[in-house]
Amino acid sequence: MQLSVKLAPTFDYPVLERFWQTADDLGFPAVWNYDHFYGLVDHATPTHEGWTSLAAMAVVVRRARVGCLVTGVTYRNPAVLAKMAVTVDHISGGRLDFGLGAGWHEGEHRGYGIDFPPPGQRVAMVDEALTVIHRLWTEEAVDFTGRFFTLQQARCDPKPLQRPHPPIVVGASQPKMLRVAAKHADEWNMPSTSAQEWAAASSGLDDACAAEGRDPSSIRRGVQLFLYPDQPDQVDAQLDSLTEYDRLGCQHVVLSFYQPPDEELLAKCAELA
């Protein structure tokens, strides 16, 4: 089972840079951030923009893969997002993992005047956006008329360094989004509060793959676990749960820190990896 790490981009840039560099030096295979404009609980929490900071991460991190877990589909036109992703893929030398999800933070949508459709519509947007992005990454020019997006001879040059495209990671936990993951994802990830919750969703992904006629083993199974370094018992409990996730078939655990861990804690996590 692979372990990678993530830090919320809600800290001063030097703190983020030090975390990325330390994680890379310790040999973690991937380093992640997330895509929000406001704090998750307190809207006033200072938050760096996800893809701009991801481009910086792609330079600071020299060996590990980098990615945004996950990008909100509502925030950017998918053709523009496809270009952004290609740019980061080139900056990183072909180390980008591309994460996409339906989004949920209503407050930042309302604050910025971004449409916040009902959940079912956002799920349909992810399906359509991934169709568009995949075509832009692999075709010379794209015409597309969909429910949400329209392209006319759209180009995405240069193409990604990774061929045919960067791995697509879909964040999902509910049946409709699991169906989107079954259709498009190279990897599935969900935030989890228990191994049993994760296992139930993984079984739902198996069912979605059957409906799509896809081999379930072709999608890597991942989970995101939240760690609060100022609560050592909480951290220990999460790390102790890794054995159960492994037993249930989880292949990739993203340890998501909501306070910056010290080097000792990061090193402990690296040893577990």
Express each pLDDT in 72-105 by its tens digit.
Answer: 999 999 999 999 999 999 999 999 999 999 999 9
pLDDT at 273: 80
- The mean pLDDT of the chain is 97
Task: DSSP for 61-108, please give it.
Answer: -SSSEEEETTEETTSS-HHHHHHHHHHHHHHTTS-EEEEEE----HHH
Kindly state the helix (H) or strand (E) to which residue 186 belongs, with its residue range: none
pLDDT at 272: 92
pLDDT at 55: 98
Q: What angle do CA 245, 214, 85 make, to 5 degrees?
A: 75
pLDDT at 164: 95
- The dihedral of CA 104, 107, 109, 115: what is its sign? positive
Q: For the chain, which residues score pLDDT lower than 70?
A: none
Q: Give residue-wise pLDDT tens across range 201-219.
A: 999 999 999 999 999 999 9
The residue among 69, 65, 34, 35 whose CA lies nearest residue 222 is: 69
pLDDT at 157: 98
pLDDT at 21: 98
Percent of the chain clearing pLDDT 90 (strictly above): 99
Q: Where exactly are the structural domains of the chain?
A: 2-272
pLDDT at 81: 98
Domain covering 2-272 assigned CATH 3.20.20.30 in the classification: yes
